[in-house]
Structure 1
Amino acid sequence: MAGRVDSPAPVGVGVTSLHENLRSRSNFHTGKTRSWEATSGIGWHEPTPLDLFPAAARSLSVVVPAHNVGYCLPAVLDALEGQHCRHRFEVIVIDDASTDATAAIAVRHPIVTTVLRLPERVGGAIARNLGTALACGETVLYLDADMVLPPHAITDITARATDTTVLVGFRHNLPYYLHQGGRGVLAEHPQLGADHRVVWRPPVGRPLLYSGITLTECFDGRPLDHTRDFVDLGYGRRYVDWDLPRMVVTCLVAVPRAAVLDIGGFDPEFGRIGWGMEDTYLGACLIASGLLVIPLRQVVGFHLDPPDAEQQWQRKLATWPGTLARYWDLMRRPAPTGRTHSFIAEVSELLHTCEVLRPH
């Protein structure tokens, strides 16, 4: 089974669901990465020296949805302030009705340019939509409020971003007892192989969360390598439990703002139902609109687990069936497009209910 990439079954003519749209979309990004390497003189997956940073790089907005992350937010914002980047970038924090010191931490930090506070909790999908609407950058970097970036990450992303690419970073989870609120984390080096999209050990004899298939023997999964940096996930192909939309994880991903607006942003219903799948659906919509999904192996951040990580995980899993059902329902519908004006109108109404703690 090692290295297996499955092709979807043939489809009929004239069917236009989002799921079937993906079957016509290549993810052959090798031409783009090789062209960039030829121009820059460094590898696509190498950290970018400041003297190679392009003068006409795309502007960047970092959107951070935050709910009760006072335990780790200082370390996350300090890492953003410590980025080795020549160009200014904005940092927008959307406080999702936190009951701890999250909002106060964001307001006090010098790297943060905008802080909004929602009156009641709505979930990460809507919080990211608010941040996207406020963003001035051509590229939006969605960053979870528990992700600590290495100092070269912003330069790596900004130097490579285009209006036709989704740039995917990776995460290395750290248990709370190791990082204790982020103290000392920046002296360490996050490992690429800690991300499940890179090294994957699925359970045996139990249905997998996404596809529902059950493996009967141990499987040494290497999704990133075995799909040649996701190239082989084009045309709707699947690597066991992984497909191309699942590789788009909003803990650390950079996207063209205009493309997100055109598809109508994140589907807000996911946040109302529970946890997960809003980023997978966003990825599916962006792929259907013609964007390529390209990994950046050097952009790996520490994900700082909360003190009650196991309890939070169990609560999230309890809502998974509902969010998964919502995802597949949306995948049976046509791919969204031309929604910029309606998206801005809907988000503008919600903005009026928010408390502006640091104006944009």
Structure 2
Amino acid sequence: MTTTTPSRGRRRAPSRIERAAGRAAALQRPRVLLALLLLLALTCVMLLDGYLRAEVGGDQRVRTGASASDVPDDILDGGPILTFRGGQATTVSVPDKTIALTFDDGPDATWTPKVLEILEKYDVPGTFFLVGSMVARYPDIVQDMVEQGNEVGVHTFTHVDLSYQSESRVTREIEQTQLALAGAAGITTTLFRAPYSSQTDAIDNYSWPVYEKLGQDGYTSVFIDTDSDDWKRPGVSKIVEWATPEDGEGASVLFHDAGGERSQTIEALPKYIEKMKAAGYTFTTISGVMAAQQPAGGPDAGRAGTADALQAAHHKATGTTLYEGKALVAAVAVAEWTVPALSAGLVVVGVAVMGRFGMMLVLARRHHRQRNRRRFTWGPPVTGPVSVIVPAYNEKECMANTLRSLARSTHPIEIIVVDDGSTDGTAEIAESLGLPNVRVLRQANAGKPAALNNGVRNARYDIVVMMDGDTVFEPDTVRQLVQPFADPDVGAVAGNAKVGNRRTLIGAWQHIEYVMGFNLDRRMYDLLRCMPTIPGAIGAFRREAVLQVGGMSDDTLAEDTDITIALHRAGRRVVYQEHARAWTEAPGSLKQLWSQRYRWSYGTMQALWKHRGSLTDRGPSGRFGRVGMPLVVLFQVVTPLFAPLIDVFTAYSMIFIDFRAALLAWLAVLGVQLLCAAYAFRLDREKYRYLLMMPLQQLAYRQMMYLVLIHSCVTALTGGRLRWQKLKRTGEVGTPAGTG
């Protein structure tokens, strides 16, 4: 055993690298919160969109056959306009030869403008009872409606039967609609019509308290005398006939400008107006009716027929009501644009995800059959000794197991342990084992890339194997790993990294991920000749190829991805050797896992950005830029970045839309993933029992990985840099045979 001895002190001041790492680490919590807030904001946008469509909090129950014993008889037998002036319930009837033309359920982007066009053509005012969610979606139509001289009223925010709702829900439905009106047209209104209401004789003991409460708040509730029943689409002539009052009586007449296909209404309305005018009828609004019915000398006497009387229920919105209304309309505009865009994006993501699964299955099968044929060979067996480099920083828990596993190697090796300023006696443990062919190089703490470069410079052989200090090799691992170097075009080889501590839940989840994701991916990328990463746990390189590209770089957090891409660009071939297995200790806690995966994902982004010039590389060395770069960006950045929205949409659909359909869709995707995972386990000869953990992995573990990626993207956008991070180790990965 040979040892190099640098000067060491008991305590030292933090290095520049350590100080930079500390500052960068301090920035991570705000970035995590920012990532979570971003996902929360998108969730809120979807919930708002669902609420606007009455999918969130909607209640379509309609009361029937209830008693009216609490309702005064004069109200049940009275006119269609119910007021509570002075606290006394009073009804108002429409004067003879007068029509109060009312419309429900709007505004609608298609039908309401056509109704307004007809009313303007015939100089007829209308009273529109608007659904607040629709007002927020189509504010321009409401503004045109009011400017044209029409009157508007509240028809609740989500078109819900208020008879079944709590007092707070009733208040919320009214106030939200008023805010929508304020944001759309700068007004509020005192008119109200309940969804599913008809004539006053239909008021019952459930609805009466609602009208009483609203009356006390200053609202006028509006019912109907005559119903066109246009929603039934009975034909134009029937609509005109049913909307006509008998014997010259006045009436509050109901049409609909939304809520369905309204072409018959649009065709019937001009005919109706012409018929009623020919019969001597005049048209007015609800406020116009009330002004005309004022007693002589009353406060509104003489105003009937004036523009003020036609819109007397309107009040100018001011103060916080106006600003909150505009904010609501703006938020709805964002939701109206965002949700469809996200939906379209999710379709693309879904196709990409399924396409990736299909590619992995097809290409992994082809890779396995090709590499496991009896006649397959890389060339003459590689039997010469190789150098194994073990970078180590405070690896006292694992170092003994790592070196003992290497000592059992069936291939001749020299072992170079590069101690990167450890403070826990890692170097001393390596020296005390007394194993042959082991050299310990000590260096001041400089990071993993520097440790690996130190090992490469001191390596005696042309092939170098790099591994992590927490990893153990099987006796045949090195021999299997170096055989592809019989092909002179091969510059590097990726081995098969496996999770050794898979007995815990977190370990089992990572085991599934390693077998299904990483190794299936590597088979696919190997066949496409665009392998993006040689894992730090197990990889082999031609020494001169590493030196050719400048060694391991500390420009990124993913030095393994960085050098792999650099080798591609240098014209070197990178392959995957599935039979070279290494057993690594995966993070044992969620905190440690987050730290590791953050480094991986952010480092991958850094490496891709660093090598963005590969997109324009020509010739064989440009294959990674043409094929690998787009695939890695699509499958490892873009698709996972949008994948959380698929889960949010799924949960949203299960709760608010169609639970069964959403559940079946989720189970179908899970089934495809299970199929891919089962095939990957078969190729790696793993035990299928771990797949029982996969549904829970999809519900919990995968979400964390998505948040890590979002965190990495936020960091990439806001700047920041971390150095080689040390994960807490237990040393529980001992012998490769103990796989569990």
TM over 0.5: yes
CA contact (8 A) 1:198 1:224 kept: no
1:164 to 486, 489, 492: 489
1:256 to 535, 539, 542: 542
Cα offset for 1:112?
Answer: 4.8
Question: Quick one: distance in 1 between partners of 2:427 and 2:471?
Answer: 17
Match of 2:575 in 1: 294
Question: Quick one: distance in 1 between partners of 2:464 and 2:522?
Answer: 23
Structure label with greater radius of gyration:
2
1:245 to 528, 532, 545: 532
Unaligned runs of 5+ in 2: 1-353, 361-366, 622-740
Cα distance change on mapping 1:230 and 1:324 into 2, 3 Å: closer
CA contact (8 A) 1:173 1:303 kept: yes
Match of 1:230, SS state, is helix
Question: Quick one: distance in 1 between partners of 2:603 and 2:410?
Answer: 38
Q: TM-score, normalised by structure 1?
A: 0.59
1:105 to 429, 432, 439: 429
CA contact (8 A) 1:58 1:138 kept: no
Match of 2:472 in 1: 148
Question: Quick one: distance in 1 between partners of 2:541 and 2:409?
Answer: 19
Question: Quick one: distance in 2 between partners of 1:233 and 1:70?
Answer: 38
Q: What per-residue deviation string (whole Å, max 9, x for no partner) do you get for residues 188-214 of structure 1?
A: xxx9x947464029xxxxxxxxxxxxx
Cα distance change on mapping 1:159 and 1:315 into 2, 3 Å: closer
Cα offset for 1:304?
Answer: 2.3
Question: Quick one: distance in 2 between partners of 1:325 and 1:295?
Answer: 22
Alignment of 1:117-266 (within 5 A): 117-119=442-444, 121-162=445-486, 163-165=488-490, 166-175=492-501, 194=511, 196=513, 198-200=515-517, 222-224=520-522, 227=524, 230-234=526-530, 244-246=531-533, 248-266=534-552
Match of 1:311, SS state, is helix
Match of 1:280 in 2: 561
Alignment of 1:90-101 (within 5 A): 90-101=414-425
CA contact (8 A) 2:496 2:578 kept: yes
Amino acid across the alignment from 1:251:
A
Match of 2:595 in 1: 315
Match of 2:395 in 1: 69
Match of 1:57, SS state, is coil
Q: What per-residue deviation string (whole Å, max 9, x for no partner) do you get for residues 313-341 of structure 1?
A: 33345556763453234213578x9xxxx
- 2:366 is equivalent to residue 80 of structure 1: no
Cα offset for 1:100?
Answer: 1.2
Match of 2:576, SS state, is strand
Alignment of 1:44-63 (within 5 A): 54=381, 57-63=383-389
CA contact (8 A) 2:498 2:515 kept: no
CA contact (8 A) 1:172 1:300 kept: yes
Match of 1:154, SS state, is helix
Cα distance change on mapping 1:196 and 1:284 into 2, 3 Å: farther
CA contact (8 A) 1:73 1:146 kept: yes
Query: Larger relative CO (CA 8 A, sep 6+): 1 or 2?
Result: 1
Question: Quick one: distance in 2 between partners of 1:170 and 1:70?
Answer: 24
Q: What per-residue deviation string (whole Å, max 9, x for no partner) do you get for residues 266-325 of structure 1?
A: 11233xxxxx4110010001111222222111111111246x654333334555676345
Match of 1:349 in 2: none
Cα offset for 1:108?
Answer: 2.1
Cα distance change on mapping 1:326 and 1:169 into 2, 3 Å: same
CA contact (8 A) 1:139 1:256 kept: yes
1:326 to 600, 603, 606: 606
Question: Quick one: distance in 1 between partners of 2:516 and 2:480?
Answer: 23
Question: Quick one: distance in 2 between partners of 1:223 and 1:144?
Answer: 21
CA contact (8 A) 1:77 1:111 kept: no
Match of 2:516, SS state, is coil
CA contact (8 A) 2:416 2:438 kept: yes
Question: Quick one: distance in 2 between partners of 1:84 and 1:67?
Answer: 27
- 2:440 is equivalent to residue 115 of structure 1: yes
Match of 1:315, SS state, is helix
CA contact (8 A) 1:94 1:117 kept: yes
Match of 1:199, SS state, is helix
Question: Quick one: distance in 1 between partners of 2:569 and 2:583?
Answer: 30
Match of 1:105, SS state, is helix
Cα offset for 1:69?
Answer: 1.2
Question: Quick one: distance in 1 between partners of 2:473 and 2:543?
Answer: 21
Cα offset for 1:168?
Answer: 1.2
Match of 1:342 in 2: none
Q: What per-residue deviation string (whole Å, max 9, x for no partner) do you get for residues 162-197 of structure 1?
A: 44322111122233977xxxxxxxxxxxx9x94746
Q: What per-residue deviation string (whole Å, max 9, x for no partner) do you get for residues 39-80 of structure 1?
A: xx67569xxxxxx994x7343110110111111111111111
CA contact (8 A) 1:93 1:112 kept: no
Aligned length: 248
Cα distance change on mapping 1:321 and 1:290 into 2, 3 Å: closer
Cα distance change on mapping 1:252 and 1:130 into 2, 3 Å: same
CA contact (8 A) 2:430 2:440 kept: yes
Amino acid across the alignment from 1:78:
R
Question: Quick one: distance in 2 between partners of 1:176 and 1:195?
Answer: 9
Cα distance change on mapping 1:301 and 1:318 into 2, 3 Å: closer
Question: Quick one: distance in 2 between partners of 1:198 and 1:175?
Answer: 14
Match of 1:269 in 2: 555
Amino acid across the alignment from 2:421:
A
CA contact (8 A) 1:53 1:155 kept: no
Q: Alpha carbon RMSD of aligned pairs, Å? A: 3.6
Amino acid across the alignment from 2:469:
A
